[in-house]
Amino acid sequence: MRFKLLAALALGLGLSVAFAQTRTLIIAQGTDPTSLDAPLATDSPSATVASHVVETLFYYTPDGKIVPQLVERYSFSPDRKVLTLTLRKGIKFHDGTELNAEAVKFNLERLVSQELASSFAFLLRGRVSAIETPDPLTVRLRMPEPFAPVLAHLTHSSTAIQSPAAIRRLGAGYRDNPVGTGPYKFDRWQKGQFVELVRNDDYWGKKPAIERLRFLAVPEATTRMALVETGQAHVAVRVPPQDVQRLSARPEINVVTTPSVRTIFLYFNQTKKPFDDVRVRKAINHAINKEEIVRFVLGGFGRASDAPISPGIFGYTKIGSYEYNPNLARELLAQAGYNAQNPLRFTLSSPNGRYLQDIRVAEAIQSQLRAVGVQAQIQTLEWGAYLAASNQPRERNEFQVAMLGWGTVTGDADYGLFGLFHTSQQAPNGFNRGFYSNPRLDRILEQARVATNPQARQQLYRSAMQIIYNDAPWVFLHAEQQVTAIRREVQGFIVHPTERLIATEASFRTSAER
Confidence of residue 353 (pLDDT cuts 50, 70, 90): confident
pLDDT tens-digit map of 288-337: 999 999 999 999 999 999 999 999 899 999 999 999 999 999 999 999 99
Which amino acid is present at 251? P
Mean per-residue pLDDT, 182-210: 97
Contacts of 208 (CB under 8 A, 6+ apart): 183, 184, 199, 503, 504, 505, 506
pLDDT exceeds cutoff 50 at 253:
yes
Q: pLDDT (tens digit, 9 = 90+) per residue, 373-423?
A: 999 999 999 999 999 999 999 999 999 999 999 999 999 999 999 999 999
| pLDDT of the residue at 12 | 52
Region 197-219: mean pLDDT is: 96
Residue 3 binned pLDDT confidence (cut-offs 50, 70, 90): very low
Other CB atoms within 10 Å distance of the CB of residue 354: 24
pLDDT > 60? residue 17:
no
CA-to-CA distance for 507 and 7, rounded, in angstroms?
A: 26
Q: What stretches of 97-157 adopt beta strand conformation (E)?
A: 130-135, 138-142
Nearest to 374 by CA among 326, 428, 320: 326
DSSP 341-394: SS--EEEEE--SSSSTTHHHHHHHHHHHHHTTT-EEEEE---HHHHHHHHTS-T
pLDDT tens track for 425-458: 999 988 999 999 999 999 999 999 999 899 999 9
| Chain segment 129-167, per-residue pLDDT in tens | 999 999 999 999 999 999 999 999 999 999 999 999 999
Beta-carbon contacts of 142 under 8 Å, excluding residues fewer than 6 positions away, are: 81, 82, 128, 129, 130, 131, 132
Average pLDDT score, the chain: 94
State residue 378's pLDDT score.
98
Report which of 169, 165, 201, 209 is spatially closest to residue 185, judged by C-alpha positions. Answer: 201
5 pLDDT higher than 50 = no
> Helices H, strands E: what count in the chain?
15, 21
Using DSSP, state whether 17 is helix, strand or coil. Answer: coil
pTM of model > 0.85: yes
| Share above pLDDT 90 across residues of the chain, in percent, rounded to a whole number | 91
2 band by pLDDT with thresholds 50, 70 and 90: very low
Q: Which band of pLDDT confidence, cut at 50, 70 and 90, is reported for residue 512?
A: low
- Helix (H), strand (E) at residue 327: helix 326-335
Between 23 and 99, the more confident residue is 99
Residue 7 has pLDDT above 80, yes or no: no
The whole-angstrom separation of Cα 3 and Cα 340 is 50
The DSSP bridge partners found for residue 73 are: 86
Predicted local distance difference test score (pLDDT) of residue 18: 39
